[in-house]
Structure 1
Amino acid sequence: MNDSSARPSVAPSDPSWWFADALKQERGQPDAPRLVGEIAADVAIVGGGFTGMWTALALKRRRPGLAVALIEASLCGSGASGKNGGLMHGYWSALAGLTDLLGADGALAVARAGAMAQDGLRAFARTADRDVWLRDGGQLRVSTTPAQDARAKSMAEAACRLGVPDMARLLAPGELPQGFRPPLFRSAVFLSEGGTVHPGRLARALRRAVVDAGVQLYENTPMTGLDKGSPNRVRTAAGQIVAREVVLATNAGLATNVHIKPYVTVFSSFALMTEPMPEKLERMGWESDTGVSDLRMFVHYFRKTQDGRVLVGTGGGPLSYNGSSTATQLREDKPTVMRVEAGMKRLLPALADTPVAKAWGGPIDISSDRFPFFKTFPGTRIHYACGFSGHGVNPTYIAGQCLASLVLGERDMWSSLPLCTRELPRLPPEPFRFLGGHAIRRAIISCEDAEDRGARGSVAARGISMLPRLFGLRIGTR
């Protein structure tokens, strides 16, 4: 893996396979217009990914007469929303960490919000005028090392302690579904709430729903500035939106904001999509639509598609300096794609010789306690969502509901969630954040690679990987 001459099968590049497929299905549907001139709206939303579009739909559903305008720097769904793995899951697997952070009641409130998000996704898929490949199959968190066995056990025990044992059930090797019995799988936690979706098609279906709901949509319209006031002014290259309420839904793009920067860092995630191989999946007995991930800190995740492909990804890509989400390495890091390929061959050896159709990557915003947060800048009517931390599709639905409640000033279950109300720990300033994060990332990968070989990481790597815990941080901990 350290051979400088080594190359992945396919170099990472945009667009993702998901987004390219979604556009192909649309057969040349024209882009929304660019914003030119000044318009007025009750609410201006910046960002046409899942979060921005769920927010727009939630607002129009609750207040149909509200004037909502949404701008997207490129095409709706072309960013993180159209690049993720398409795994639907909530927070039942995170109950132990949530309980430590928020207490039992707060942990259950967040997990139940994830369940409501799952219901919301299903309801949208039923009404969307095309198949977004949403399939319920649960989620499987598999263990491949003794250290991961302990994490699996901890997940199941946390669910039992909180009185929801069926939401995170420990499986012995013989209980694993037929298609998920590769040699390395030791045990697993089965999460009945979960499944898979085509994120590109979901994003484009949301786009159409937004337009149908009467939202003024402008694509290829990046925000160039924001003037806070009463009203606010969202400036673009050729126009502006004057609005009382503003929602910033640009995810990792917010990490350089002076108010958000202390609580967020930017890593990167990479994925690959294989060529179709339905006959191999049939031989494996892989019939279910379960989303699967291992229990490493920098997880490997995988799922099959409706046309017989397999997606494999990892969240262990390079991190950025000073919160920038534009660095080339965050989208084009070939060593991380090689790690994804190696992970596929190690975890799913039956697929080792399967050709890769496409690889891609991009930035992900990681909060200081590894859970997203949805807030309003003090003294303003500007609201934002950030810190999604690679948790999949469901949290974006939660974000849309929470942001809609914040915009409308509604004191309800959404605006009362700890995701809206908790205080976050501060991260170290630069350059210590980058240098420390880079060293810790390398140390954790080294330790987990050693565990995969049945060994222990070096003393130095183990020591460095413990630093976040010593400083009371949750980010970068195993």
Structure 2
Amino acid sequence: MSQSSALPSVAPGDPSWWFSEAIGTEGGRPDSPSLSGAITVDVAIVGGGFTGLWTALALKERSPQLSIALIEAGRCGSGASGKNGGKVSGYWGSLAGMEANIGANGALAVARAGARAQDAIRAFSTAPGRDVWWREGASIRVSASPAQDAKIKGYVETAKRLGVPDIAHELSPEQVASYCRSPVFRGGVYLTEGATVQPARLARALRQAAIDAGVSVYENTPMVGLDSGTPNRVRTPSGEIIAREVVLATNIELARRPEVKAHVSVFSSFALMTEPAPEKLAAMRWNNDEGLADMRMFVHYFRKTVDGRVLMGSGSGPIAFAANTQDPSLTTDRASGARAEKGLRRLLPGLGDVGIAKIWGGGIDVSADRLPFFRTVPGTRVHYGCGYSGHGVNPTYIGGQCLASLVLDAKDEWSSLPLCTRSLPSLPPEPFRAAGGRLVRWGIIGCEEAEERGEKPGLAMSAAAAIPRIFGLRIGTR
């Protein structure tokens, strides 16, 4: 595909390549039954992705006697958890932004929680009998234009200033090429914490682990209503769950709730999977398992698979108006799919003629300060977690631990994290949120594409891109 093409070579659509591959390995294993009738349990969890499943396992580990029911609107792992890039890393690479929002001590506390999460996910993924394609490897951010060069030193200088110099190392162009050779790669930064995984396989493994632990899992069972009280009632099309505690782990759907909507906007990200090309990867010297990303605001993220494919994602999809999670553009926007493919061909020209097996998209719950948050609805025993902002695999383990602590009313290392305690900044109300967000998105994408062409962005694009900085917002900050 030429870089000027407006359409991808494959139309975006569900399911993701990851989920199809994961289900194909299960050999026709039936779905869990849908819920029929009324049941009573200690804890009801709504959402069968990473957050809900990690929460269920954390609760069972801490309090095995609890009765837990988990419902999933579709099939476990078919939503956001099975659509992401499968790059696993915590928050060491986000220190600068976190320091600006929650202070140095808060930033370090969250980053250290991410390190604990990394260890726990590794232990789960590499346990005997599990094949979720866990591959240990660092995370590398590369500059792909002169305008991105200045961002490199920020990672290294922040790590030194906060007393953790070993987590970020500046890379010369020659060092970057030793990990993955591309004519557009310049310098970079090597972040020591990182791994890759087949995310849908991980979600399905978590589902099985939850079932083995005694959690009652019901698939194809959407929540159609929630009556909070003592007890709570989670209503489904053919039944209900009566529970003392309820955990809502429904990703972008939470953006419509009154206690959440001021703090979260629904963006989208699109990704593609190539056909296998191991010989081309070898020619590019991409022989190890590091996950990579460029320095864009609307980042390109990319990684290899165990069978020699490459995933390329672009976090530049449409923004939903008023958190309309049913907006079809969140999953089918062809221009966003084209940007992911354009990114592949530009950043990795050695894969210029490799076919595209699948393109898919999905919604992202982007919080006002780019960090997730975990809370209890005031006056209730209903708990929720959201705002992962496209950084989901590692933080969902943190989320599971935080939500388990909220359910158990435990005052511990998890519930004391800023993710549970900080004051949440708010976003502008609609229609200004979506209209402004779309204008900013247009400006940033235009500026970044102009910079990559070696051109000066136009005044209108530059002005639009500057809006978040002028108003002190973290979303869309360049």
TM over 0.5: yes
Superposed CA offset, 1:401-438 (max 9, x none): 10001100111110000011111111111111111011
Using the alignment, how far apart are the partners of 1:417 and 1:269 within structure 2?
28
Using the alignment, how far apart are the partners of 2:282 and 2:5 within structure 1?
36
8 Å CA contact 2:176, 2:186 repeated in 1: no
Superposed CA offset, 1:229-288 (max 9, x none): 011000001110000100000010111111100000001110000011111112222111
Q: CA deviation at 1:6?
A: 4.2
Equivalence for 1:365: 365
Equivalence for 1:312: 312
Q: CA deviation at 1:145?
A: 1.9
Structure 1 counterpart of 2:213, one-letter code: A
Equivalence for 2:84: 84
Structure 1 counterpart of 2:108, one-letter code: L
8 Å CA contact 2:159, 2:168 repeated in 1: yes
8 Å CA contact 1:176, 1:188 repeated in 2: yes
Equivalence for 1:431: 431
Structure 2 counterpart of 1:151, one-letter code: K
Equivalence for 1:7: 7
Superposed CA offset, 1:142-188 (max 9, x none): 11123311111111110010111111111111222524121111111
Structure 1 counterpart of 2:168, one-letter code: A
8 Å CA contact 2:374, 2:420 repeated in 1: yes
Aligned 1:455-470 pairs, distance under 5 A: 455-470=455-470
8 Å CA contact 1:178, 1:284 repeated in 2: no
Using the alignment, how far apart are the partners of 1:339 and 1:282 within structure 2?
25
Equivalence for 2:195: 195
Aligned 1:277-426 pairs, distance under 5 A: 277-426=277-426
8 Å CA contact 1:57, 1:213 repeated in 2: yes
**Secondary structure, counterpart of 2:331 in structure 1:** helix
Using the alignment, how far apart are the partners of 2:347 and 2:177 within structure 1?
15
Q: CA deviation at 1:129?
A: 2.2
Q: CA deviation at 1:5?
A: 8.6
Using the alignment, how far apart are the partners of 1:170 and 1:4 within structure 2?
33
8 Å CA contact 2:345, 2:351 repeated in 1: yes
Using the alignment, how far apart are the partners of 1:104 and 1:128 within structure 2?
39
When structure 1 is superposed on structure 2, of 74-83 and 151-160 the one drifting more is 151-160
Equivalence for 1:167: 167
Structure 2 counterpart of 1:327, one-letter code: D
Q: CA deviation at 1:130?
A: 2.3
8 Å CA contact 2:139, 2:290 repeated in 1: yes
Q: CA deviation at 1:216?
A: 0.6
**Secondary structure, counterpart of 2:235 in structure 1:** strand
Using the alignment, how far apart are the partners of 1:92 and 1:6 within structure 2?
36
Superposed CA offset, 1:433-469 (max 9, x none): 1110110000000000011011221111111111111
When structure 1 is superposed on structure 2, of 3-12 and 377-386 the one drifting more is 3-12
Using the alignment, how far apart are the partners of 2:99 and 2:6 within structure 1?
43
8 Å CA contact 2:142, 2:176 repeated in 1: no
Equivalence for 1:38: 38
Structure 1 counterpart of 2:400, one-letter code: G
Using the alignment, how far apart are the partners of 1:93 and 1:153 within structure 2?
12
Superposed CA offset, 1:11-40 (max 9, x none): 011110000000000010000011011101
8 Å CA contact 1:173, 1:181 repeated in 2: no
- Unaligned runs of 5+ residues in structure 1 are none
Structure 2 counterpart of 1:147, one-letter code: A
- Unaligned runs of 5+ residues in structure 2 are none
Aligned 1:48-63 pairs, distance under 5 A: 48-63=48-63
8 Å CA contact 1:133, 1:306 repeated in 2: yes
How has the CA–CA distance of structure 1 residues 369 and 221 changed in structure 2, closer, same or farther, with 3 Å as cutoff? Answer: same
Equivalence for 1:130: 130
8 Å CA contact 1:383, 1:406 repeated in 2: yes
8 Å CA contact 2:320, 2:327 repeated in 1: yes
How has the CA–CA distance of structure 1 residues 3 and 177 changed in structure 2, closer, same or farther, with 3 Å as cutoff? Answer: closer
Using the alignment, how far apart are the partners of 2:2 and 2:438 within structure 1?
17
Structure 2 counterpart of 1:451, one-letter code: E
Q: CA deviation at 1:128?
A: 5.6
Using the alignment, how far apart are the partners of 2:381 and 2:151 within structure 1?
41
Structure 2 counterpart of 1:171, one-letter code: L
Equivalence for 2:17: 17
Superposition TM-score, scaled by structure 1 size: 0.98
Using the alignment, how far apart are the partners of 1:2 and 1:247 within structure 2?
47
8 Å CA contact 1:138, 1:191 repeated in 2: yes
Using the alignment, how far apart are the partners of 2:255 and 2:117 within structure 1?
25
Structure 2 counterpart of 1:96, one-letter code: A
8 Å CA contact 2:132, 2:198 repeated in 1: yes
**Secondary structure, counterpart of 2:323 in structure 1:** coil
Aligned 1:246-257 pairs, distance under 5 A: 246-257=246-257
Using the alignment, how far apart are the partners of 1:140 and 1:345 within structure 2?
19
Count matched residues. Answer: 478
Equivalence for 2:241: 241
Structure 2 counterpart of 1:86, one-letter code: G
How has the CA–CA distance of structure 1 residues 5 and 463 changed in structure 2, closer, same or farther, with 3 Å as cutoff? Answer: closer
The alignment status of 1:454 with 2:454, answered yes or no, reads yes
Using the alignment, how far apart are the partners of 2:370 and 2:428 within structure 1?
15
How has the CA–CA distance of structure 1 residues 279 and 181 changed in structure 2, closer, same or farther, with 3 Å as cutoff? Answer: closer
8 Å CA contact 2:182, 2:284 repeated in 1: no
Superposed CA offset, 1:353-381 (max 9, x none): 10000110010100011111111111111
Superposed CA offset, 1:104-128 (max 9, x none): 1100000011111100111101226
Using the alignment, how far apart are the partners of 1:427 and 1:339 within structure 2?
27
Structure 1 counterpart of 2:461, one-letter code: A
8 Å CA contact 1:443, 1:462 repeated in 2: yes
Structure 2 counterpart of 1:415, one-letter code: S
Using the alignment, how far apart are the partners of 2:42 and 2:205 within structure 1?
24
